[in-house]
Amino acid sequence: MRSAKAPFGAILAGGQSRRYGSPKALAVVAGARLIDRVARVLEQVTPDLVLLANEPDIFADLQLPVRADVRPGLGALGGIHTGLLWAREEGRPGILAVACDLPFPCLPLLERVRDQAFGHADAGRYGEPDGPDLVVPESRGRRGVEPLFAAYRVDCLPAIENQIRQGDHRMIGFFDQVRTRRIPLARVEELCDPGRSFLNVNTAAERRRAERLARSDDFA
């Protein structure tokens, strides 16, 4: 039964996979598709998963509720925008957004992101009004944070829509306009290996690297 108060667990699968050459979410690592690996972790953190995808037929076997971008052509920002509109429509506090191409999403870190943004269901605190609007972990990536492994409350919508009106499609362009809490890199590293957990598969070479990492886990 779907919870009326939990944030959506939103799988972002709206990209065109140009560099991969075929839908990268369906690429297989260690015997499981990337999108299934993401869903398996995300469903442990929030009960209600949704899919944000512009080619829903590709993912029909997942049997998840799915929506295409309300505003096409905005990249990942369009997926976040659509997910938050959907959450607001259903009275949800927001979304836990995870990209579809992460072979090794970190469960303890995702739990930390959820708890800092929404509280925890066991404490009856989903949707607390006095928390941050956005919780994002720091990383060693080019942005310094991982916006596609983050929590967004519906309160982000005005800032996102203002940014869209200005023609700015950057994923982090609105972060300084909302109450943003960054999980420090040192704390992230206590919970997981960021280089592994934030590895995303955009090319066949990156899929092979992920396969090697998965094999090394099997023999560790």
* Maximum Cα–Cα distance across the chain: 51
pLDDT tens-digit readout, 85-127: 999 999 999 999 999 999 999 999 999 999 999 986 554 455 5
Average pLDDT, the chain: 88
One-letter identity of residue 82: T
CB neighbours of residue 139 within 10 Å: 19
Burial of 16 (0-12, 13-18, 19+ CB in 10 A): exposed
- The pTM score is 0.91
- Coil/strand/helix, residue 8: strand
Between CA 193 and CA 189 the distance in angstroms is 6
Mean pLDDT value across residues 40-45: 95
- Whose tokens are 């943003």? That residue is 180
Where in the chain are the domains? 8-218
pLDDT of residue 23: 78
Containing 87, the helix (H) or strand (E) segment is helix 76-89
- Coil/strand/helix, residue 184: coil
What is 8-218's CATH superfamily?
Spore Coat Polysaccharide Biosynthesis Protein SpsA; Chain A (3.90.550.10)
- Coil/strand/helix, residue 152: strand
| Phi, psi at 203, each rounded to 5° | -135, 165
